[in-house]
A = this chain, B = another copy of it.
Amino acid sequence: MKLWEKNVRRVIPYTPGEQPSAANVIKLNTNENPYPPAPGVTAAKDAMDAKRLRLYPDPTAKVLVDALAHYYDVGADQVFVGVGSDDVLSVAFLTFFNSEKPVLFPDITYSFYPVWAQVYRIPYETCPLDENFRINPEDYYRENGGIVFPNPNAPTACYESLDKIEDILDHNRDVVVIVDEAYIDFGGKSALELIKKYDNLLVVQTFSKSRSMAGIRIGYAMGCPELIKAMNDVKYSINSYTMNMPSLIMGVEAVKDETYFSSCTQKIIATRQRAKERLSELGFEFPDSMANFIFARHPKYHARELFEALRSANIFVRYFNQPRIDEYMRITIGTDDQMDALFDFLKNYMDVNKKKL
């Protein structure tokens, strides 16, 4: 070991899903949207004057904050923006989870939570989901240093009702509760309406899924002005200018076009319904999905086997080699054509490789 290495922060980093560079891949592995961003985004890109890149962007990201505040009918002082919801969640962990008591989150959840806890030295404990991958609110009644969970959950796609979220909030008024709603626009009801009632509730969303802009890196949080100010103070203590000019100019357009947004999410919901039916016919089992992906297992075929077979056919899905979920694969909802290619491959594979229980 080199001498300077004794002061290095040792971490086990998060592993993002593969970003294959081949053009002929059917990419159903990172929950991207199969449809392009709103037409206004392309128009804004074309109109953007690249010469202006010589100047710093607005550190307050005012145009984007204002567009989101207007869309969600909240104050501009109730919106925080960051470089994807990962940046937003990372700042939230650093800002709000400074207790010596453990932060609580489900045992099966977004695998970045324990990584942020680790890098920022935040104590945490996980609360096991029940056998149907559902949250039990009573697990969150005990003393803690904060709570975070996705709704719908990742990678299970299970949606919890606002009643259940209020139950958790009612038993946790003295810590910050973060509801990570990356997938909320695919049929769930946002907890946003609860921020008036609970000043300790932070709702986090993203442009990466429902707004088809994973490549632009925009996430945002909404909550009471005190929560947002605390996050901005920390953000301005890390990096003043996080949102680059293209993200501000193009991001605003993705918020404005409600018609396009609604048509894309409806198409994905319809394809998800078809996918549920087809996967059932093929013998798959899965918790009901309210997200843009389905978390499925097959009683006869191990998920890793199917994952690898699909991969060799250039169809990428996601497999997590982790306790409790190693028999599942996570399949992003693509276009109808992409999903048909997946179903055809699976049907053919199972015909050729017949197995008995």
Contacts and interface: CB of A to CB of B under 8 A. Distances in A.
Contact of A27 (B14, B55, B250): B55
A86 interface: yes
Contacts of A59: 16, 19
A357 interface: no
B32 A56 contact: yes
A83 B83 contact: yes
Contacts of A214: 53-57, 241
Given A90-B238, A115-B237, A246-B246, A54 B36 contact: yes
Contacts of A30: 56
A2 B22 CA distance: 52
Contact of A217 (B6, B9, B54, B241): B241
Nearest to A39: B50
A174 interface: yes
Given A30-B56, A215-B55, A233 B48 contact: no
Interface stretch (A93-101, A157-165, A312-320, A341-349): A93-101
Contacts of A293: none
Interface string A167-192: 00000011110000000000000000
A350 interface: no
B83 A242 contact: yes
Interface in A223-240: 226, 230, 232-240
Main secondary structure of the interface of A (DSSP, over half): loop
B55 A3 contact: no
A213 B176 contact: no
Interface in A69-95: 83-84, 86-87, 90, 94-95
A37 B8 contact: no
A19, A174, A246: most-surrounded residue (chain B CB, <10 A): A246
A41 interface: yes
B14 A41 contact: no
A142 interface: no
Contacts of A213: 53-54
A270 interface: no
Given A19-B57, A57-B217, 8 more contacts: A2-B199, A4-B96, A4-B200, A9-B234, A54-B212, A56-B214, A86-B238, A90-B238
Interface of A: 2-17, 19, 27, 30, 32-37, 41-42, 45-46, 48, 50-59, 83-84, 86-87, 90, 94-99, 115-116, 118-119, 145-146, 173-176, 199-200, 208, 212-217, 226, 230, 232-247, 250
5 contacts: A13-B232, A19-B56, A36-B53, A118-B237, A246-B246
